[in-house]
Chain A
Amino acid sequence: MKEPAIRRRIIADKSFKTIVVLLAFASILPMFFILFFIISKGISVINWTFLTHLPKPVGEIGGGISNAIIGTLMLITVSIIFSVPVGVLAGVFLCEYRKGRFAYFVKLAIETLQGIPSIVIGIIAYIWLVLPMGSFSGLSGGVALALMMLPVIITATEETLKLIPDSLREGSLALGVSYPRTILKVVLPAGLSGILTGILLSVARVTGETAPLLFTAFGSPFMNFNILKPINTLPLMIFNYATSPYTEWHTLAWGASFVLVVFVLGLNLFTKVVTRKWKVQF
Chain B
Amino acid sequence: MNNFGKSLLGLGMKKVLGLITILLISIVLGGTGHAKDIELIGAGATFPYPLYSKMFDVYNKEYAVKVNYQAIGSGGGIRQLISKTVDFGGSDAMMSDKDLAEASAPVLHVPTCAGAVVLTYNLTGDPRLGFTPDVIADIFLGKISKWNDRRISAINPGVKLPDMNITVVHRSDGSGTTFIFSDYLGKVSAEWKEKVGTGPSLNWPAGLGGKGNPGVAGLVKPTPGSIGYVELIYALQNKMPYGMVKNKKGKFVDATLASTSKAADTNLPDDMKVSLTDTDAPEGYPISGFTWILVYKEQNYAEKSEGKAKELVHLLWWMTHEGQKNAEPLEYAPLSKKAVEKAEKLIKSVTYNGKPMMK
A and B touch in the complex (CB under 8 A): yes
Confirm or deny: B267 has a beta carbon within 8 angstroms of a beta carbon on chain A.
no
A246 within 8 A of partner (CB): yes
A77 CB to closest chain B CB (Å) equals: 4
Residue A177 interfacial (CB < 8 Å): no
Establish whether residues B85 and A136, one from each chain, have CB atoms under 8 Å apart when the complex forms: yes
Judge whether B31 and A57 touch: CB under 8 Å: no
For the complex, what is the distance from the CA of A134 to the CA of B24, rounded to whole Å? 26
Q: A64 near B: Cβ within 8 Å? A: no
Which stretch (B49-57, B100-108, B142-150) binds chain A? Answer: B49-57
Contact B60 A222 (CB under 8 A): yes
Within 8 A of A (CB), among B53-84: 53-54, 56-57, 60, 66, 68-70, 83-84
In angstroms, Cα B212 to Cα A47, docked, is 30
A262 to B49, CA, bound (A): 32
CA distance A233 to B171 in the complex (A): 25
B41 and A136: CB pair below 8 A?
yes
Question: Shortest beta-carbon distance, A227 to chain B, in Å?
Answer: 5
Name A95-145 residues within 8 Å CB distance of B.
130-131, 134-136
Q: Which residues of A contact B57 (CB under 8 A)?
A: 56-57, 221
Q: Residue of A at shortest CB range from B238?
A: A245
Q: Are A58 and B50 in contact (CB under 8 A)?
A: yes
Chain A: residues with Cβ within 8 Å of the partner, total of 36
User: Digit string of A45-76 for contact with B (CB within 8 Å is 1, else 0)?
Assistant: 00000000000111100000000000001100
Query: Could you tell me if A219 and B70 are in contact, using CB atoms closer than 8 angstroms?
Result: yes
What residue of chain B has the Cβ atom nearest to residue A54's Cβ?
A: B57
A265-282 to B contact mask, C-beta < 8 Å, 1/0: 000000000000110110
Determine if A229 and B39 form an interchain contact, defined as CB atoms under 8 angstroms apart: yes
Considering the complex, give the chain A residue whose CB is closest to the CB of B211. A243
Given contacts A73-B24, A224-B31, A243-B215, is CB(A134)–CB(B221) below 8 Å? Answer: no
CB distance from A124 to the nearest CB of B (A): 16
Choose the segment among B1-9, B127-135, B245-253, B309-317 that binds chain A (4+ C-beta atoms closer than 8 Å).
Answer: B1-9
Q: How far is the CB of A185 from chain B (nearest CB, A)?
A: 10
Is B49 touching A58 in the complex (CB atoms < 8 A)?
yes
B356 at the interface (CB under 8 A from A): no
Residues on B with C-beta less than 8 A from A245 are 214, 217-218, 221, 234, 237-238
Given the interface contacts A222-B66, A245-B214, A245-B217, does A135 sit within 8 Å of B24 by beta carbon? no
| Contact in complex: B68, A135 (CB < 8 Å) | no
Decide: B4 and A278 in contact? CB cutoff 8 A. Answer: yes
User: Which residues of chain B come closer than 8 Å to A230, judged between CB atoms?
Assistant: 41, 68, 70
Is A59 touching B8 in the complex (CB atoms < 8 A)? no
Are the C-beta atoms of B237 and A246 separated by less than 8 Å? yes
Residues in chain B near residue A221, CB distance under 8 A: 53, 56-57, 68-69
Assess the B237–A281 pair: CB atoms within 8 A: no
A218 contacts B70, CB within 8 Å?
yes
Q: Which of A57, A136, A281 is B54 in contact with, Cβ under 8 Å?
A: A57
The answer to whether B8 touches A189, judged by C-beta atoms less than 8 angstroms apart, is yes
Q: How far is the CA of A281 from the CA of B8 in the complex (A)?
A: 15
Residues of B within 8 A of A135 (CB): 41, 85-86
Tell which of B4, B49, B85 touches A280, judged by Cβ atoms closer than 8 Å.
Answer: B4
Chain B min CB distance to A15 (Å) = 41
User: Does B28 sit within 8 A of A, measured CB to CB?
Assistant: yes
When C-beta atoms are compared, the residue in chain A nearest to B301 turns out to be A134
Instruction: Name the A residues within 8 Å of B70 (CB-CB).
Output: 218-220, 230
**Nearest chain-A residue to B8 (Cβ)?**
A189
Q: Which of A200-229 contact B (CB under 8 A)?
A: 218-222, 224-229
Q: Does A192 contact B (CB under 8 A)?
A: yes
In the complex, are the beta carbons of A244 and B31 less than 8 A apart? no
Q: Find chain B residues with CB under 8 A from A164 CB.
A: none
The answer, yes or no, to whether B302 is at the interface (CB within 8 Å) is: yes
CB of B28 within 8 A of CB of A192, answer no
Which partner residue on chain B sits nearest A225 by CB separation?
A: B31
- When C-beta atoms are compared, the residue in chain A nearest to B80 turns out to be A136
CB nearest neighbor in A for B13: A278
Residues of B within 8 A of A77 (CB): 24-25, 27-28
Partner of A225, one of B8, B30, B85: B30
User: A57 near B50 (CB under 8 angstroms)?
Assistant: yes
Choose among A58, A192, A224, A281 the residue with the greatest number of B CB atoms under 10 Å from its CB: A58
Distance A280 CA – B3 CA, assembled complex (angstroms) = 10
Complex Cα gap A56–B56 (Å): 11
CA distance A280 to B9 in the complex (A): 14
Pick 29 A–B contacts, CB within 8 A, sort by A: A57-B56, A58-B54, A59-B233, A74-B24, A74-B31, A77-B28, A134-B84, A134-B303, A136-B86, A192-B8, A218-B43, A218-B68, A219-B70, A221-B69, A224-B39, A225-B30, A226-B31, A226-B34, A227-B28, A227-B29, A228-B32, A229-B39, A243-B211, A243-B218, A245-B217, A245-B221, A245-B234, A278-B4, A280-B1
Per CB-CB distance, the 4 closest pairs between chain A and chain B, nearest first, are A225-B31, A245-B217, A244-B214, A57-B53
For the complex with contacts A77-B27, A224-B66, A226-B32, 15 further pairs of A-B residues with Cβ separation under 8 Å are: A57-B53, A58-B50, A59-B50, A130-B85, A134-B85, A221-B56, A221-B68, A225-B28, A226-B37, A230-B41, A243-B214, A245-B214, A245-B221, A245-B237, A246-B237
Interface residues of A (CB under 8 A from B): 56-59, 73-74, 77-78, 81, 130-131, 134-136, 189, 192, 218-222, 224-230, 243-246, 277-278, 280-281
